[in-house]
Chain A
Amino acid sequence: MFCQECHERPATLHFTKIVNGKKTEFHICEHCAKEKGEFLPGSNTFSIHQLLSGLLYGDPSISGTASSGLSQQSVLACPQCGMTYNQFAKSGRFGCSHCYEVFDSKLDPILKRVHGGNTRHAGKIPKRIGSGLQEKRELEKLKQAMQQYILNEEFEKAAETRDQIRLLEKQKHREKGE
């Protein structure tokens, strides 16, 4: 696919913009992105930052939520670093790790767009600060499975799963007791 600006170079940046419910797709090359001033000078990292900020800013489906008007939006700010949602939308970057919590209600659509529909981490969990998280994930999964078995009236499997859950919880308590 060729760049829709210059029709010469292959398009390497692809994004979808929804304006007033109308979906428009953009395919441009990095050279043209740069020329349009949407490129971060001096950076060889993916120029999506600036494109992203264009998206966030120009897109009513993201920058405005159904319930909150503009006035409320400009108040939404991170208590840790002071970044407001509008500033984030403009720069496409967070100010600190707490911004993720503060802007959480608005993040799903942004992340979906950038990460092929994904919003939840499925990768590595840090060993030290994340210890226990792995078990928690496992327990959650088992509990869901048990619910499903009960709904399907597969009681034998449900009981097996229940035993697994008990075993895991026992282990957890034992570790804590040490």
Chain B
Amino acid sequence: MSLEHFISEAISPWMKKEGPDSDIVLSSRIRLARNLEKYNFPDLASKEESEAVIQTLAGACKEKSCGNFGEFEILHLDQLKSLAKRVLVEKHLISPHLAEQSKFGAVMLNHDESVSIMVNEEDHLRIQCLFSGFQLNEALTLAAELDDWIEQKVDYAFDEERGYLTSCPTNVGTGLRASVMMHLPALVLTKQISRIIPAINQLGLVVRGIYGEGTEAQGNVFQISNQITLGKSEEDIVEDLRGVVLQLIQQERTARKTLQDGLKIQLEDRIFRSYGVLANSRIIQSKEAAQCLSDVRLGIDLGIVEGISRSILNELMILTQPGFLQQYANEMLNPDERDIRRATLIRERIKLEEA
């Protein structure tokens, strides 16, 4: 296994397994922030301390008894080219912070890329478990298992009163961030989303658009996660998020039904036009590509578009990001060149499916 293994394919193997409610929930993620007791947090740690942290963890994870997680490959960020880092960010395997700002960062990845352990990001460890579809509890179980396994070998910074001690006070306590990525095109089309997001915020959850540089949800993909990490148990945090996601799934399904019942021809027109754009354009910007991909994916979910696999949205939204386009082209590209490459790549991908 090598770096190429992690940057050549847009879709991580875990993503190919279709999870529950995957017509609406694209993925579920659990992240645990942990620190070792002995060393300063990464912001202040010396080079020696940071290297010691990497050594300690790499040592702990090299042992064969890695439980259900398989072997880990460790990548040192300072040994990676910027393009490779960018691709790892686009695949959500590392954070932009680790790629750009950490001084002595590393990441440990397992074979199917469902587990990523960032080392010396904002905290010494960021254990991340990813599952396709709506599988928050499964992700929590796996993350907890991995956490227990690491804890047998290292001393975590833990305080009876404050819980797991983290670099930022927003993560202290459980250190848990649970998040779910949802495709909500019908709630956006029916303009219900602007009333729903504030309601979710009031429940102590955060809603963010993803993939875009700004905050608008490109391709109608939203990430919903917990804000509070202290004073609640891990199970309660996840359960609260789960409850909200379940309601959102319901509401999105109802909105899809409303569109199908009342505006069938308009909906079909929109979906097939987007299909036409993806299948025929020669220049396409990422925002338009994301919107068209969202429409086509909705068409697939509703049985309006046939013969294209559901994973096309996840796959092409990652594949058409700048890092991947350049990796694919094997050269640096300016934005105009990227728009041309993006169009070509999408056309080829859609044709592949038609064949």
A and B are interacting partners: yes
Chain A residues near B (Cβ < 8 Å): 1-2, 9-12, 14, 29-31, 40, 42-46, 48-49, 52, 80-83, 91-97, 100-101, 107, 110-111, 114-130, 133, 136
B172 within 8 A of A: yes
Q: Which of B144, B163, B194 contacts A121 (CB 8 A)?
A: B163
Question: Are A123 and B165 within 8 A (Cβ)?
Answer: no
Question: Are B156 and A126 within 8 A (Cβ)?
Answer: yes
Residues of B156-170 at the interface with A, using a CB-CB cut-off of 8 Å, are 156-170
Question: Are A111 and B215 within 8 A (Cβ)?
Answer: no
**Chain B at the A interface: mostly helix, strand, loop or mixed?**
loop
B22 within 8 A of A: no
Within the complex, the shortest CB–CB distance from A96 to chain B, in Å, comes to: 4
Total number of A-B contacts with CB less than 8 angstroms? 168
Chain B residues near A (Cβ < 8 Å): 35, 37, 39-41, 43-44, 95-97, 99-101, 122, 144, 147-148, 151-152, 155-170, 172-174, 176, 194, 197-198, 201, 204, 206-208, 214-216, 227-234, 237
Question: Are A116 and B122 within 8 A (Cβ)?
Answer: no
In the complex, which residues of chain A have a beta carbon less than 8 angstroms from the beta carbon of B230?
A: 111, 114-115, 118-121
Q: A118-B173, A128-B152 are in contact. Are A9 and B163 (CB under 8 A)?
A: no
Residue of chain B at shortest CB distance from A13: B206
Q: Which of A12, A48, A95, A124 contacts B41 (CB 8 A)?
A: A95
Considering the chains assembled together, what is the distance between the CA atoms of A81 and B152 in angstroms?
A: 26
13 new A-B pairs (CB below 8 Å) besides A94-B166, A118-B232, A124-B234?
A2-B194, A31-B216, A80-B40, A81-B40, A96-B40, A97-B41, A114-B169, A116-B204, A118-B173, A119-B161, A122-B173, A123-B163, A123-B176
Question: Are B170 and A97 within 8 A (Cβ)?
Answer: no
In the complex, which residues of chain A have a beta carbon less than 8 angstroms from the beta carbon of B152?
A: 127-128
Question: Are A100 and B165 within 8 A (Cβ)?
Answer: yes
